[in-house]
Amino acid sequence: MILGHMQCGQGQNALILKNATRRCVVKLCYFCGVLNACASVIALEEGRIVHDKITKKGCEFDVFVGSSLVDMYAKPGNTKDD
């Protein structure tokens, strides 16, 4: 559902849905969808929280998650770490 909202250009709705599904089993597509939602509405702080969860789960080396992380950080022009 999160990815569906993203495909329809509804990044804000995707983030709202993300907050409602915190107890669901987390899959890689979930991370990608949330990161894409964060990138679309430039929610960098929310994206950093998700990035922390990705690192804790050991998923940061997945190629799709990694691409979504790069996109999320690069969209607002934040290619350097603060």
pLDDT for 8: 84
Q: Is the pLDDT of residue 23 over 60?
A: no
Q: Indicate the burial class of 2 (C-beta count within 10 angstroms; 0-12, 13-18, 19 or more).
A: buried
Note the pTM of the prediction, 2 decimals.
0.66
In sequence order, the 6+-apart residues with CB closer than 8 A to the CB of 12 are: 37, 41
- pLDDT, tens digit, for every residue of 41-53? 989 999 999 999 9
Tell me how crowded residue 81 is: count the other CB atoms within 10 A of its CB.
5
Contact between 1 and 17 (Cβ < 8 Å): yes
pLDDT single digits (tens) 72-81: 999 866 655 5
What is the chain's Cα-based Rg?
12
Residue (of 42, 68, 74) closest to 54 by Cα position: 68
